[in-house]
Chains A and B, each alone.
Chain A
Amino acid sequence: MIAINNVTKKFGNFTALKGINLNVAEGEVFAYIGPNGAGKSTTIRVLLGILQATSGDAKLFGKDAWSDALEIHKRIAYVPGDVNLWPNLSGGEVIDLFVSLRGKHDKARRERLIKDFNLDPTKKCRTYSKGNRQKVALIAAFASDVDLYILDEPTSGLDPLMEQVFQDNVMEEKNKGKGVFLSSHIMSEVERLCDRVGIIREGEIVEVGTLDSLRRLTRYNVNVSTANAIEGLDKLQGIYNITKQADSLAFDVDVAEMGKVFSHINNFGIIKLASVPPTLEDLFMQHYEKA
């Protein structure tokens, strides 16, 4: 559905994207994450044909993102992270405008979404808070009949209840076989919704894969009490951050080395052993910080 092939984007001397490659398959929810200023929004703007790639090509539905933008845009809905709407139009007017610019109008769906998101569409946009402006953009997106949703931090202003409504709508579209390209900082959202994750840092894709496969690349935190004091642990490979606690020992261990480490510990008579997978935050922090 999306094929980004070696795309570079330069702004003057600054290189925002350094030859990135990404593929998103049909019916897939793809999370695109990375620290601020890493190039997430630039990637999305290249996909939308609003910025022209300096080199490489970005394709949606097999068509070129820049030159076939008009055709592509009939099949996508975009929600920007920082939504500015026309101050003297009502929310309802903006929703109708965007839905009709994209194509078919489904009135029942519009009404259902306005109810679910609990929006007053008769208010002028200048009076909406950030969260309400995002609701307008989200309703306009989900009320459109499209095949791919491109969402750039769409829920940063929503409360947890509305976050839930958003997630339900994404799941519904996913089950219909629609694709979703989601840039987000909200880890629970990513964990619940996404099939695959791509991490961008300083204009380069540093990791792409399913959440499980990403976890496999990282470390578990282990806390163990043994009958006899453990010796020689620091000589094993893949062990980090050993700290002695009152009656136990805590350390991090690479997933690949876990078997060897546990059979070593077993020699000292395990009383209690807990091993915790990394939280998503830990996982992403490792990738964000990796030099």
Chain B
Amino acid sequence: MFYNSWKLFKFIARKERTTTPIWIVAIVGFVVLLVPGMYVSIDETSRAELAFMLNDPTMIAMIGPAYGVEEGLYTFAAWFSHMMFIFSAMAVAVMSIFLVIRHTRADEEGWRYEVLRSLPIGNLTNLHATSMFTLCANVIIAIFTGLLMWIVGDESMTFGGSMLFGMGLGTVGLVFGGIAALFSQLSSTTRGALGYSFLCLGLFYMMRAAGDNGAEILSLLSPLGLAQRSQFFVNNHILPQIIMLLVADALFLTAYKLNTMRDIDQGFIPIRPGRYEAKKSLLSSWGLAWRLSRGTIITWVILAFVLAASYATILGDIDNFIAGNEMYQQLLGLGDLDLTELGGLLVLNFVTMITFLMTIVFVIPLIMIAQRLKNEEKEGRVEFVLSCSVDKKKLMLNYMLIATFAAVIIKWAYVLGMYSTAAAMLDVVPFTFADILVGSLVYIPAMLIMIGLASLLLALGKKYANIIWIYLVSTFFIYFLGNMGVLPNFVNYLSVFYYVPRVPVEDFNLLATVIMIVIAVILRSVTQYIYARRDISNI
């Protein structure tokens, strides 16, 4: 059943020679590099204040309970692991889910697994080799995180605690790898397997959030909560990690069993049948474009709401938060100011900054929608659609309009998430609804220009389309470095977002807004003109 597993393991390692190392370096690097970063940014007194602030139910829901505060054991290491563990562990979980499904269900859904099975390998060889590779990846993360934390950390970051923290990341990765292995047997599609696995991750995160605020049992039943019960650097319990390993083992073994019980290409969860006939709303090039973009829009509307709500929860303590964090002070351009004099203005500054940064993030789905035709063209579907009576200009316009709609609705979700949460949680809301609404919607003309640029690059040719991502990332760095004053002034003008007035801190600027809208409209026409004149090819 496991014949040639070692050979297949080496084959998987070869296929993974770039992807997994990138994940590992990113996760380990992120955790380890933040150790000195967070150490300089916070001293002992502000840590004590923070511990108080982190005792807030919303913060506990986000990152879990603080251990060792009463006993006076809330050292830097304890604080660091409290802040970092949940999200780092979730990153490892995401890596493991993708890794397992990539080599099991996804290979099976393509023709690749069938070809493998025609070779002299056992029926469990591929799953086993994938499991072993996942184990290796997680062990490497555990060991490197542990060792490097111990090396770069202060004296509170003990060897035992660091290694246990690393192990915690690894066991969470393995449990979710096991869950992914299970769902790649249960579901007969890659999409389904990924969907169910991530649904589990989300549910366990929420279970933990509820459990940490009361019903402890829920936290113990969630792998994320259980792993955190090691109380890193405070009590260093190893039992939770051993339970986690046993759970992971059980999950993988169940997946093995299910794999032997089923035929290739089959699953246990029945596929929902599609429609026998199309709904009327699909029956046009517009309907198709909408259908293909709908999922992206819904996902990002929810994401925008949640992100805004989670930022709103920290507004009450924002003075402390910013006082303790030099990076934020620099981002806000407050380096030389006396913070106490700013008062309510500080909150507004913070909200304005978050709105700006979120705008850059929200451009991601807009580009994905505006450049949908890139992949459609590559797959030969644009050719197929255009062979019907569909106008090329209209085809391009469909996606530009849907991206525009997405910009507006995502911004609204952000505003509603921010305002409703702030109104529910704060005694005094430091801004009016109009403030934050105008402050957010004022970015839409700039977002339209980004949509226009993304579409224009695609219209010029598929190979130019990705340049827009470089530009988007550079607008972030221009803002970041610009506020720190390390860039020559003219560089600021290269970012389209630089021209947006920072309402409510600055006044609304009608002229700038109108000019940006005019530019966006011109971009749209130029894009349509160019796209209508270029060849379509799937090469």
Listed in ascending order, the chain A residues whose CB lies under 8 Å from chain B are 45, 48-52, 69-71, 73-74, 76-78, 80, 82-98, 100-103, 121-124, 126-127, 137, 150
Question: Per-residue 0/1 for B264-293: is the Cβ within 8 Å of any A Cβ (1 yes, 0 no)?
Answer: 000000010111111000111101100110
Complex: A51 Cα to B387 Cα, angstroms: 12
Residue of A nearest to B272 (CB): A124
Q: Is the CB of A121 within 8 A of B390?
A: no
Residue of A nearest to B109 (CB): A126
Cross-chain pair count, CB within 8 angstroms: 114
Contacts of A91 in B (CB 8 A): 274
* Min CB gap B189→A, angstroms: 7
Q: Is the CB of B275 within 8 A of A92?
A: yes
Residue of B nearest to A124 (CB): B274
CB interface residues, B 143-194, toward A, < 8 Å: 189, 191
Q: Is the CB of A84 within 8 A of B381?
A: yes
Contacts of B388 in A (CB 8 A): 73, 78, 98, 101-102
Among candidates B271, B389, B533, residue contacting A73 with C-beta atoms closer than 8 Å: B389
Contacts of B383 in A (CB 8 A): 45, 48, 50, 80
User: Chain B at the A interface: mostly helix, strand, loop or mixed?
Assistant: loop
Size category of the B interface is 20 to 34
CB interface residues, B 522-539, toward A, < 8 Å: 533, 535-537
| Contacts A/B (CB < 8 Å), 28 sampled | A45-B536, A48-B387, A50-B386, A50-B536, A51-B535, A51-B536, A51-B537, A71-B389, A73-B390, A82-B380, A83-B384, A84-B379, A84-B380, A89-B274, A90-B273, A90-B276, A91-B274, A92-B278, A93-B282, A96-B277, A96-B282, A96-B283, A97-B288, A102-B388, A123-B271, A123-B274, A126-B189, A150-B387
Q: Is the CB of B292 within 8 A of A86?
A: yes
The CB with the most chain A CB atoms within 10 A, among B278, B285, B287, B387, is that of: B387
Q: Is the CB of B271 within 8 A of A127?
A: yes
Closest 9 pairs (CB-CB, A-B): A90-B274, A78-B387, A101-B388, A96-B278, A100-B283, A93-B278, A122-B273, A84-B379, A73-B389
* Min CB gap A176→B, angstroms: 21
Complex: A80 Cα to B382 Cα, angstroms: 12
Contacts of B291 in A (CB 8 A): 89
Residue B397 at the A interface, CB < 8 A? no
Q: Is the CB of A101 within 8 A of B380?
A: no
Answer whether A93 and B277 are a contact pair too, CB < 8 Å, given A86-B292, A126-B189: yes
Q: Is the CB of B381 within 8 A of A85?
A: yes
Contacts of B48 in A (CB 8 A): none
Q: Is the CB of B271 within 8 A of A124?
A: yes
Complex: A45 Cα to B537 Cα, angstroms: 9
**Given A73-B390, A78-B384, A101-B390, 17 further pairs, Cβ under 8 A:** A48-B383, A50-B535, A51-B536, A52-B533, A74-B389, A80-B384, A86-B381, A90-B276, A92-B274, A93-B274, A93-B278, A93-B282, A94-B278, A96-B278, A97-B278, A97-B282, A100-B278
Complex: A86 Cα to B276 Cα, angstroms: 15
Residue B317 at the A interface, CB < 8 A? no
Complex: A89 Cα to B533 Cα, angstroms: 30
Contacts of A127 in B (CB 8 A): 189, 271
Question: Per-residue 0/1 for B382-404: is the Cβ within 8 Å of any A Cβ (1 yes, 0 no)?
Answer: 01111111110000000000000
The CB with the most chain A CB atoms within 10 A, among B274, B283, B292, B536, is that of: B274
Complex: A137 Cα to B385 Cα, angstroms: 11
Contacts of A126 in B (CB 8 A): 109, 189, 191
Residue of A nearest to B387 (CB): A78
Residue of A nearest to B283 (CB): A100
Contacts of A84 in B (CB 8 A): 379-381, 384
Answer whether A100 and B284 are a contact pair too, CB < 8 Å, given A45-B383, A73-B388, A126-B189: yes
Complex: A51 Cα to B386 Cα, angstroms: 11
Complex: A83 Cα to B109 Cα, angstroms: 17
Complex: A20 Cα to B533 Cα, angstroms: 23
Q: Is the CB of A90 within 8 A of B275?
A: yes
Complex: A91 Cα to B67 Cα, angstroms: 56
Residue of A nearest to B295 (CB): A88
Q: Is the CB of B387 within 8 A of A92?
A: no
Q: Is the CB of B389 within 8 A of A103?
A: yes
Complex: A64 Cα to B291 Cα, angstroms: 32
Residue of B nearest to A74 (CB): B389
Among candidates B276, B284, B535, residue contacting A101 with C-beta atoms closer than 8 Å: B284
Contacts of B274 in A (CB 8 A): 89-93, 121-124
Contacts of A137 in B (CB 8 A): 384
Contacts of B273 in A (CB 8 A): 90, 122-123
Q: Is the CB of A48 within 8 A of B283?
A: no
Complex: A91 Cα to B276 Cα, angstroms: 8
Complex: A80 Cα to B384 Cα, angstroms: 7
* Min CB gap A8→B, angstroms: 14
